[in-house]
A and B are shown apart, each in its own frame.
Chain A
């Protein structure tokens, strides 16, 4: 029990060092990330729960396999999200299907931030806006969808997004601006209709 608490208090980076010596400690890393990654996979792909769980299992196996490749030039969370991002892309390629948004759960706080940043229509009721954003996200380009999801739903900063999708900061910033503009355009069009 003491050992459990000790591991719980370790940072991700410290746990990585321990996992390399003791495989069973890997379950602490799995615990920390499985829900977040499962939600992320489902947000950026059109797979069902079962397939998402299979992908999640592959992700953790790849994480374990490549633990020695992790270095502290980036956050562990960025590194594990990058592996998840790549797994989802590999999955698209295998299925030869473009991903669509299927399951987007958005918190009220996230809606508020996204609405503020994109000057969305304030008069819409929060629940209605949530639904409209989900639909609008499904209608914009996949690379823009992921920008919005990483920034507002996964709550990553620009540096983390840059490390996850392996693009320069400038590209992340311009892609984010385009993503917000696209989203706003689709939302405004929907609202006028």
Chain B
């Protein structure tokens, strides 16, 4: 084999650059992705699935941003857009304040060194014909690291995620359990020394006890390597456990974003309220009798006009169909934003607070 050692960072040096906490590592503004449908909608002109429609948010260095929403609301599309696995139609993605893929911005290569992703399906995200060592070292060899060196690094990372290389390095995916496979997926992402990890339903397909183990592993890794997470899940309890801030998506839009305690404690948007009410309680006496949200998710091909949630909203009024609400601050907490007319004074909604609310901003379009 090749004996010449190439310098490879050991794990633990990933995020040692002195980025002050709270400085955004990732900034997204006006991100939009419409998938064109073949054959059209039966009407005139081509039809589009509005998978992600004009969303903006930031992720601070060192935090965990949870992203929640129903299936089909655009969570995974957002992750793939951030990773540039699919090209956005519009919008800007800033990594460390630098435009990704722009003319004088950051290259895709640099993006992929800094940002990595863990996928939902632990089995289909591993090549059935690769051993774990091959799988974990693949990214490194693809980036030009020598084979022997990549293997050594792969063993290090496998050990780091709690898989003894002497036992697991030569195994194939079908010889591992679901939890072990997901650890390999995490190891593969970590092998490239990323600073931001996108976890797309990373624990959703695991059973509860294994899920807890992997969650604890993720928390431990984050602390030891100083990583930043974007944690996508439909499981509100898991998000509450791991996230610092939560972003709630509905039909390709951000409807609410804020610190975990605020969003779970005093949700502003009726959709968030319904989601939180839909969680099952451990106490059988507090069983849910009536469904918090009625009906199905409307089609993202022809989303409702105005507020997209109005067709299922318990407090919908005519104004909701005519104007689209803007994501805005509504309470005492400046980082807590929601997009609902009922929170904006003078919006024309019957439940809107009075104009002389004090801290409430004058213009509904302005941002804090």
Same complex for A and B? Answer: no
Q: Which B positions have Cβ atoms within 8 angstroms of A?
A: none
Chain A residues with a Cβ under 8 A of chain B: none
